[in-house]
A and B are shown apart, each in its own frame.
Chain A
Amino acid sequence: MQLTLAAKYMGASMATLGLGGAAMGMAMVFVALMNGTSRNPSLRATLFPQAMLGFALAEACGLFCLMMSFLLLYAV
């Protein structure tokens, strides 16, 4: 019983590791936005919504990890 509980907590903590990838993805989106804006500031208005879309997609992937760990903690 104790071992199962330990495995559950370890699994939940390991599931959060994937958030690092989402963080890198979000950072890359904003780095690309800054790069593009500094090269051509007049494109900012068109680049910003696309960056927001990329941010939302990357964050959604990170939230899958968070959801997995929450499910392991509370629903298993």
Chain B
Amino acid sequence: MKKMFMHSPLEQFEMKMLLMMNDMLALSMTNYVVYLGMVSFMMYNMMTLLNKTNLEWNRWGLAMLAMYDTMLNMVKSQMGNKGGYYFPLMFTLFTFMLMANLVSMMPYSFAMSAQLVPVVSLSLSLWLGVTMLGLAKHKLVYFSLFVPNGTPLPLVPVLVLMETLSNSSRAMSLGLRLSANVLSGHLLMLMLGSLMFNLMNSSMFGMFFGMMPMLGVVAMVMLEFAMSMMQAYVFCMLFSGYMKDSMYLH
């Protein structure tokens, strides 16, 4: 048996061209697009299932209702009753992140949300939408968001600068948090896994004493499952917080 990875562990995140018209930019299909289609198909099926769910259906229906209820509670607690208007967006985002993260946890699959460019562009466009929402709702009063309540006058220029910086860095940090988490989690799992593989493959001694660290690897995988669910929740929670900021200004 050879080593488990050929050149570097970053190989698992490479986009491979599966179908190509004439160059990479024309109607090309990468493995990213395949996974995107898979997740959208699953989301569509989940929507049709969710439409006929009631409390006495089965356990899977109850799980879907619990997800729905969790998101509804989160949106309502962050944005009040008016936030229910933005609930479909939030629920779609949550389901998309959850399914993308969980699909990428399957062995030998492609980690969709570890791709920095699509995830960061998603969060950038979400932030842009939130900013446009605030400007449309409050006109120029929206910029009062950059001056916290009760600041003394000499501090205002500095604070405006800092608030502007922190507000505009939200666009990057929202997506970077998700994809950096998935990227480093998958790298860690691959490296630990191949380390264990090489150790237990080396000798009978290694096989025997590899059993204990094996439990550590299993614990890492369980942590990754938990993180993949938690990151989807955190993404939606932070995004609804940002939306609350631009809806109500403080």
A residues adjacent to B (C-beta < 8 A): 52-53, 56-57, 59-60, 63-64, 66-67, 70, 74-75
Structural contact, B187 and A56, CB atoms closer than 8 A: no
Given known contacts A53-B234, A64-B176, A70-B184, what 7 new A-B pairs fall within 8 Å (CB)? Answer: A56-B227, A56-B230, A60-B181, A63-B181, A67-B180, A70-B10, A70-B187
Is B180 a contact partner of A74 (Cβ separation < 8 A)? Answer: no
User: Helix, strand, loop or mixed for chain A's interface?
Assistant: helix
Contact A53 B237, beta carbon cutoff 8 Å:
yes
Is B188's CB within 8 Å of the partner chain A? yes
Closest chain-B Cβ to A10's Cβ sits at a distance in Å of 19
Q: Which of B8, B180, B188, B233 contacts A60 (CB 8 A)?
A: B180
Can you name 23 A-B pairs with beta carbons within 8 Å? A52-B230, A53-B233, A53-B234, A56-B230, A56-B231, A56-B234, A57-B177, A57-B234, A60-B177, A60-B180, A63-B181, A63-B184, A63-B185, A64-B176, A66-B188, A67-B180, A67-B183, A67-B184, A70-B10, A70-B183, A70-B184, A70-B187, A74-B9
Assembled-state Cα–Cα distance A42/B187 (Å): 40
**CB-CB contacts below 8 Å: B3-46 with A:** 8-10
Q: Chain A residues with Cβ under 8 A from B231's Cβ?
A: 56, 60
Query: Do B180 and A64 have beta carbons less than 8 Å apart?
Result: yes
- For the complex, give the distance between the alpha carbons of A49 and B180 in Å: 22
Closest to A52 in B: B230
Bound-complex Cα distance A53 to B231 (A): 9
Tell me, rounded to whole Å, the shortest Cβ–Cβ distance linking B196 to chain A.
18
- A36 vs B73: C-alpha distance in the bound complex, in angstroms? 23
Q: Which residue of B lies closest to A66 (CB)?
A: B184
